[in-house]
Chain A
Amino acid sequence: MEKKWEEMSSDEKQEELFQRWISPEGVEFASPEAEKLYKERATRIKDAIQMKKLPDRVPVFLIPSFAPAYYSGLTPHDVMYNYDKIMPAWQKFYMDFQPDAHGGAFVPSPGKFVDILDFKLYKWPGHGVSPETTYQCIEGEYMRADEYDLLIHNSLHFFNYIWPARVFGALEPLQALPPLAGLTEIYGVSLSFIPYGTPPVKAAYQALLEAGDEAVKWIGAVGPFYPVMAASGFPPYQVGATKAPFDVIGDTLRGTRGIMLDMYRQPDKLIQAMETLVPMFIQIGVGAAQQSGCPLIFMPLHKGADGFLSDEQFKKFYWPTLKKVIMGLVDEGVVPFVWAEGGYNSRLEAIRDLPKGKTAWLFDLTDMAKAKKALEGIACVGGNMPMDLLSVGTTEDAKAHAKKCIDTCGKGGGYIMANGAFFDKVKFENLKAIVDFVKEYGVYK
């Protein structure tokens, strides 16, 4: 009899999720060849991550930001405001370069959606930055230093009403809405609802409804990308994402400056708040993996990089709750696909603490020889294809670097060739050169 999910070990859960991903339900492959390629690719990635079996060759990923738009001669503004242009551009990118997996087509967030809600957290093409430029985050204190207790003890209220009212200009009036917990009797039942009858709150809800319509329109245009790509033979390397609690607070709640001052002025509150976020951010990842059938969950890491924090600060503030999120995902069979931006040389020792074959680490500026040595037999490594090489190097430089990466890290499996940072405008012939080179040179014999 088949085991129930809750009775499975984390190994069994991971295997189950991988099998669902390798043989996706409801996908009508375009051809037997496409089906064969899909299964080969997914199996290759699974073998590289689990390190139980040597893959047939080194898997190769391309992890773009707006590059597919530029490749099709479009600007970020074009694709953020014309949803129908997204899929063709993203499809063309992956079909032309033929990497082993695709990363979805969610990079171009819907422009009209952020317009309607007056998103304060970012500048986007045509709104603070030029139409040719990608969106960029505006750091600020979207949570005040004295609001940790609110985040810790009333996090749902904070995330549903307080924070959105600050990052979406159109939702500012929601901040004033009273909690409805006092409504237990008919006497006075309508009092708490008076604000809903006022013009500012009505306008906020109107904006929410319009934004919702826009989100539906957008997903209608980009959602089919996953089944279409699967049918063409490409598994996704990610569908959902989750984050390190330190980055959640440091990126978009307190900001870099805010969280760094909190490390000194209220370290206990900061740690307690990060602990509060752990189950939420495990659930975000597990839910996305379960729903999408993709066992890999993307985890971009920001402020734990070399130079940002001392070793002591990393071990006290960054790693404990990140490790809890990672382990929470691993326990449910999910593979954290960690995107370690910046350098991670001084953090490799800490990562060695993780169980074998459960995570994949893509590095940006980390010394790959060191990374491989530290994580050999523990975690699949990859990344490191440098941005300057992709942007201004020659195809020969790109191939030489790819060769060096495979020679350094490829031996024995547990390695994925990939770029080390999101890319936009690059020399596209370099991408092609790398993918083709890996397919030839990266074969395990």
Chain B
Amino acid sequence: MAKDLVSTLADLKEQEALKIVEERLSGGEEPLKILDDARKAMEVVGKRFASSEYFMPDLVYSGEILKAITDMVKPKLSKEGEIKRLGKVVFGTVAGDIHDIGKDIVVFMLDVNGFEVYDLGVDVPAQKFVEKIKESGAPIVGLSGFLALAFDSMKQTIEAIQAAGLRDKVKVMIGGGQMSEEVRKYTGADAYGMDAMAGVSLAKKWVGAG
């Protein structure tokens, strides 16, 4: 019998995991069930990251294996499976800053913890955040920035959200290289996080799931 996909993927055994998926697909199994196992495995990966058992290389590698699995399964999917999400989050690295490593980790962790994340990328103008908040109705906004110059961009982004009349509809978290209560106050954010798990806890608290 084929080994368990959840534990194989969670243990980052790339070749074995892909082989299991191939066998299950050729055995005619429902593709959605395979994706569901993969999702469960990523939850385990997220938990291991949160407990410092896994680190960045392990996250990156798990994402890579997941992508390969999704590529194999997707063509066989009849329709996209509906996954219940905790809530929507608009996320991006603020204007003038092109750093993405930290942002990508938080987006990854929010995703595996059940949030629907709109990742706007890097060097995102304030107006783009505003538009995405309007369009998606997301109640949570995450602003990332590595450079100290990002403090000003975060401040301006939050001011733009305010000017668009959306400030009381969203909670804003900031994170990145150099964060503190002083920076939070300066930018006008609701909270700051020192690592990806802090971001997840904040998001869960804000949607009442924490």
On A, residues with C-beta under 8 Å from B are: 123, 128-130, 132-134, 136, 138-139, 256-257, 260-261, 263-265, 307-310, 313, 365, 386-393, 397, 421, 423-426
Contact = CB atoms under 8 A, between A and B. Distances in A.
B180 A264 contact: no
B57 A309 contact: yes
**Dominant secondary structure of chain A at its interface with chain B:** mixed
A134 B147 contact: yes
A313 B53 CA distance: 12
Contacts of B55: 307-310, 313
A138 B123 CA distance: 12
Given A264-B12, A308-B55, A313-B57, A387 B148 contact: yes
B39 interface: no
Nearest to B178: A387
Nearest to A130: B96
B57 A393 contact: no
Interface stretch (B78-86, B97-105, B165-173): B97-105
B179 A388 contact: yes
Contact of A392 (B99, B149, B151, B195): B151
Given A386-B180, A388-B179, A388-B182, A264 B61 contact: yes
Nearest to B100: A139
A235 B21 CA distance: 63
A136 B177 contact: no
* 8 nearest CB pairs, A to B: A260-B57, A387-B178, A260-B60, A388-B180, A392-B186, A310-B55, A133-B96, A388-B183
B151 A424 contact: no
Nearest to A422: B148
A262 to B, nearest CB: 9
Interface in B52-67: 52, 54-58, 60-61, 64
Interface in B5-48: 12, 14
B196 to A, nearest CB: 9
A88 to B, nearest CB: 23
A265 B186 CA distance: 44
Contacts of A134: 147, 149
A257 B57 CA distance: 8
Contacts of A132: 96
Interface string B114-143: 000000000100000000000000000000
Nearest to B187: A392
A136 B186 CA distance: 24
Contacts of B96: 129-130, 132-133
Contacts of B151: 388, 391-392
Nearest to B101: A256
Contacts of B123: 129
A307 B61 contact: no
Nearest to B185: A392
A423 B98 contact: no
Contact of B147 (A265, A310, A424): A424
Residue in B52, B101, B148, B195 with the greatest tally of chain A CB atoms within 10 Å:
B148
Contacts of B60: 256-257, 260-261
A420 to B, nearest CB: 9
A421 B147 CA distance: 10
B148 A424 contact: yes
A270 B152 CA distance: 39
Given A264-B12, A426-B148, 12 more contacts: A129-B98, A130-B96, A133-B149, A139-B100, A256-B101, A260-B57, A263-B57, A388-B183, A391-B178, A391-B186, A423-B148, A425-B149
Interface in B174-196: 177-180, 182-183, 185-186, 195
Given A261-B61, A388-B183, A421 B178 contact: yes
A123 B152 CA distance: 19
B178 A392 contact: no
Contact of B177 (A261, A265, A421): A421
Given A392-B183, A421-B178, A136 B148 contact: no
10 contacts: A130-B96, A136-B99, A261-B57, A264-B57, A307-B195, A309-B55, A313-B57, A388-B179, A388-B183, A424-B149
A313 B195 CA distance: 20
A301 B80 CA distance: 44
B115 to A, nearest CB: 21
Contacts of A393: 182
A387 B57 contact: no
A74 to B, nearest CB: 15
Contacts of B185: 392
B98 A425 contact: no
B182 A392 contact: yes
A64 to B, nearest CB: 11
A385 B185 CA distance: 19
B179 to A, nearest CB: 7
A271 to B, nearest CB: 14
A263 B64 CA distance: 13
A138 to B, nearest CB: 7
A164 to B, nearest CB: 22
A132 B156 CA distance: 15
A424 to B, nearest CB: 6
A310 B53 CA distance: 8
A261 B98 CA distance: 22
B136 to A, nearest CB: 27
A313 B183 CA distance: 33
Nearest to A341: B177
Nearest to B12: A264
B158 to A, nearest CB: 15
Contacts of B147: 134, 136, 424
A257 B63 CA distance: 10
Contact of B56 (A308, A390, A397): A308
Nearest to B179: A388
A190 to B, nearest CB: 46
Residue among A128, A132, A392 with the highest chain B CB neighbour number at 10 A: A392
Contact of A136 (B97, B152, B182, B195): B97
